[in-house]
Structure 1
Amino acid sequence: MTQPFEYSTRYILDKSHFSETFDQTVTEVAPQKAYLKSLVIGMLGAILLLATELNPYISWFVVAWAGVEVLSVRFQKSWWLARQMISKAANNELTLTIDEEGIRSQSTSVKSFIAWGDIIKIEQTSQGWLLHFEAGKSYLSSRCLSPEAQAFVAQKVRTR
């Protein structure tokens, strides 16, 4: 009788971890499509400013909002990293447990469990695994896993 697999590790949710997560999970969007929301908001602001009698402060706010949207597209990674680094999870220790039931993550601000049965698709990336499930997706970095844990996850990929 074989022993059920269980692996547990701890690591810090630091800038390098968040940077790797972003790099491995970002989906590239065509520049025209990425800036479309900014363009629409900017045009709305210009229309409010030039064609209505609405308070100019509101119109200028909408124009400024369009500018912020442009910056969020242009500096997408920096923007995302900054938001992660000011979150409650940043620079806290996370305990990751992988077993026959699924993947558990626990820290002072996060407690999650993803059952293997809930995972729709597992994609191997250059530095880890992207786990797709009904509520979204999650990234599992190889750098925090032992060779045995990596083999276990790879075996789960093959059984899907």
Structure 2
Amino acid sequence: MTATDKIIINFELDKTYLRECFDQSRGAQQRPFWQLYGKAFLLLLIAGFIIQLEVEGLSRHLGAFFIILAIIEIFSQIYARGWWVTRQMLSRNYGHKLELTMTKEEISWQGGKQTLRYVWKQVTAAEQTSLGVVLNTDDGARHYLSKSHFDDTSWQFLMDRLGINESV
């Protein structure tokens, strides 16, 4: 591959891909109970404190509001996958064709109204999963790329650029 060559991959941002993104990028991250439900517990404590204050007219309504927030937080953790996929489906890029371009210098995504471009040095870490690879970039973002969208040559180029040894 010469310096002017590009590898261009096109795929659609659909529900199946979004589910795979969630499963592969979050699958290895097991969080403890308090990290998952700590915010809901804190909201319930605040609600109890507010209700115990017994400010006429305000404390019960405000306390009930915090209880409802705690319940919503619990549901957002229980149904995290569906919650995340639905939010992504409401985004402007859902249903659009994405174009992934890789050169020796950079990797870029373009789709809908958004363009992302990273020089390879900006990719700080890469975590290979069973179905693809998760890229961590210097701005703190995580990007998932599915192996199903790549042919063997383009996948090997990506692995080489990321420094991941994989036998195809």
Q: Which residue of 1 is the match for residue 2 of structure 2? A: 3
Residue correspondence of structure 1 range 11-160 to structure 2 within 5 A: 11-26=11-26, 27-53=29-55, 55=58, 56-136=60-140, 137-158=142-163
Q: For 1:120 and 1:152, locate their aligned partners in 2 and report how far apart those are by CA, in whole Å.
A: 17
For structure 2, the residue ranges without an aligned partner over 5 or more in a row are none
Q: CA deviation at 1:120?
A: 1.2
Q: For 2:87 and 2:2, locate their aligned partners in 1 and report how far apart those are by CA, in whole Å.
A: 41
Q: Counterpart of 2:51 in structure 1: which amino acid?
A: L
Q: For 1:58 and 1:109, locate their aligned partners in 2 and report how far apart those are by CA, in whole Å.
A: 40
Q: For 1:101 and 1:156, locate their aligned partners in 2 and report how far apart those are by CA, in whole Å.
A: 9
Q: CA deviation at 1:60?
A: 1.3
Q: Counterpart of 1:152 in structure 2: which amino acid?
A: F
Residues paired across the two proteins, number: 159
Q: TM-score, normalised by structure 2?
A: 0.87
Q: For 2:33 and 2:93, locate their aligned partners in 1 and report how far apart those are by CA, in whole Å.
A: 31
Q: CA deviation at 1:47?
A: 1.3
Moved over 4 A (4+): none
